[in-house]
Amino acid sequence: MEVSATKSFRKELYFNTETRRKIINITPQVELALKESGVKEGLVLVNAMHITASVFINDDEPGLHQDFEKWLEGLAPERPYSQYAHNGFEDNADAHLKRTIMGREVVVAITGGELDFGPWERIFYYEFDGKRKKRVLIKIIGE
């Protein structure tokens, strides 16, 4: 029986978007971190480290991204700010709600040193309250 050593790798990505909301394809950065880790079989966790941003998996298609924006704005409109109790001291209650809908993180299998995606799948960072520095954690475990 072959014994293999489990590896653990951690990396942070930083974002400071010029707009309040933005979707960014971070798949290339996650693939680079995977190469840096040396892990061939395992799992990668990618999560937004702020409660007004999300990480999700879907298609890299601009029309779909516009649909996300329209759909989320219908569910949790940014304005009027006065509609939210949280906005007594901030104006980002909608960002917290949008993050809850889109999720905090994704986990992807690693097979043969590659992200084991289905067709068209890509990893995205979705900023809901930008114009300030935020981070995403990449944690890779495996062998």
Mean pLDDT along residues 70-85: 96
Residue 142 has pLDDT above 80, yes or no: yes
Instruction: Report yes or no: 46 and 57 within 8 Å, Cβ to Cβ.
Output: no
Residue 2 has pLDDT above 80, yes or no: no
pLDDT tens string 22-53: 999 999 999 999 999 999 999 999 999 999 99
Domains of the chain by residue range:
7-142
Burial class of residue 136 (count of CB atoms within 10 Å of its CB; 0-12, 13-18, 19+): buried
pTM listed for this prediction: 0.94
Confidence of residue 7 (pLDDT cuts 50, 70, 90): very high
Residue 84 has pLDDT above 80, yes or no: yes
Q: What is the pLDDT of residue 90?
A: 87
C-alpha dist (Å) from residue 116 to 36, 111, 119, 122, 125 = 17, 6, 10, 11, 19
Q: Which residues pair with 7 in a beta bridge?
A: 142
Give 39's DSSP letter: -
CATH architecture of 7-142: Sandwich (2.60)
Residue from 7, 6, 27, 23 nearest 15 by CA: 23
Q: What is the pLDDT of residue 68?
A: 98
Q: Which residues pair with 56 in a beta bridge?
A: 124
